[in-house]
Amino acid sequence: MTVRPAPSAAAQESPLPAVRCPRPTAAAFFDLDNTLIRGASLFHVARGFAKARFVSTQDIARFACHQVVFRLRGERAGQVISTRERALALAAGHTVSEMHELCRHIYDDYLAEKIWPGTRALADLHSRRGEPVWLVTASPIELAEIIADRLGLAGALGTRVEEVDGKYTGRLVGEPLHGPAKGAAVRELAERMGYDLTVCHAYSDSANDLPMLTLVGHPHAVNPDHRLRERAESEGWPVTDYRTGTKLLRASLPPAAITGAATGALAAGVALAKRARAKP
């Protein structure tokens, strides 16, 4: 079943049936990038880092280019992991309190306006049904927890950076929460919280999250990449897509135009970093 509602109509056209009583063992797990928000959260983390002078002009330019590629081509497992590792390494030497304050500004300044209204409506519907809603993302846990708190979710799982004496070392604690690691984290959470995975829901845009999606009884594809769309349609999973404009862009742009768009984003990233550095 494929559902393509307007964002404002998402709650009315939801694939979720009504329930009469709370179901605290039926949790819902939401991916972040391109599922709950438009695009890649790490681009906006880089913007925040640039504003706080945590990163160089070259760093913000790379993240700007990655954002365009992500929006046009979708998620690529190796690229995502290497990008997140580089991003989290930038935290080295900074304090935990600095990072929490920075992540609050990143959400308020950039991410709040990037949330897909339709996905937010689905998360709210699960909450109204008495089902705990968790954000599960490879982005930094500090940012994930702030987003979860702002949206009134039960909690968040995210990638962690080692901290010693209140400062980050730049080394990861375990693996980035992506692919199989994301599935393992959801399973561990379910065991700890007493969730029944056969009645849980999971939402993602990427085939890289199949380890999480196939873990639950009710997987959902949101703004899916090509591989996930094929899998969802073959399995009969609900598919919701809010990206009409993006899909038209991908269909109409020749390769040269895509290259031009990436170059434009690169220049925009450099300009953004220069403006940030110019501020007193």
Active site residues: 31, 33
Contact present, 188 and 215 (Cβ < 8 Å): no
User: How far apart (Å, rounded) are the C-alpha atoms in residues 34 and 36?
Assistant: 6
Tell me if residue 3 falls in helix, strand or coil: strand
Buried/exposed code over 34-49 (b: 16+ C-beta within 10 A; e: otherwise): bbbbbbbbbbbbbbbb
Query: Position 71: which residue type?
Result: R
Tokens of 268: 């925009």
The CA–CA distances, whole Å, from 251 to 42, 66, 71, 163 equal 26, 20, 13, 45
